[in-house]
Amino acid sequence: MLQLSKKVEYGLIALRHMAMKPMGQVFTAKELAKEYDMPYDLLAKVLQKLARHGIVASLQGVRGGYALAKKPTEVTVSLIIRVIEEERPMVAECYTDGPASCYLFGNCTIRKPLGKLQRNLNVLFDTMTVQEIV
């Protein structure tokens, strides 16, 4: 419960790796997967998403790969999760998918109080950056 998904963990590990080396250095999905023993296909998908959203820059073709495109201080855990999961980390389903997603919505008495928890969570994830995990 409340665990980060494997995809997010793979993304964090890869981004941290890049952040440790000189800015602009290029890494292939293959070498990253091998280095940390992550499933290549899955990591590749994650890196592609990060590339689409400009967190890393991708270079295709032979000698291609990925390089960090933002400063480690600018990439928050919140952003990484949003990009990889394609949604914000929320404590309740209805926060993400709206009233129709939960049949309890009409008589739910905890939705509003949980908002406080959510806001505090947001602060946590918005505050933590890749810089903090190098």
Partner DNA sequence: TAATATAGGACTGTTAAAGTCTGATTTATG
Partner DNA sequence: CATAAATCAGACTTTAACAGTCCTATATTA
Residues that bind ligand SF4 (CB under 6 A): 9, 92-94, 102, 104-105, 108, 110-111, 114
- Between CA 5 and CA 9 the distance in angstroms is 6
**Residue 2 φ/ψ region, left for φ over 0, alpha for ψ in the -120 to 50 degree band, beta for the rest:** left
Instruction: For DNA, give the closer residue by CB, 85 or 88.
Output: 85
13 binds a second copy (CB under 8 A): yes
Report yes or no: 6 and 41 within 8 Å, Cβ to Cβ: no
Q: Which does 22 bind (CB under 5 to 8 A by kind): DNA, ligand SF4, a second copy, none?
A: none
- Between CA 63 and CA 58 the distance in angstroms is 11
128 binds a second copy (CB under 8 A): yes
Report the interface residues with DNA, using CB under 7 A: 1, 5-7, 28-30, 39, 41-42, 44-45, 47-48, 51-52, 58-66, 85
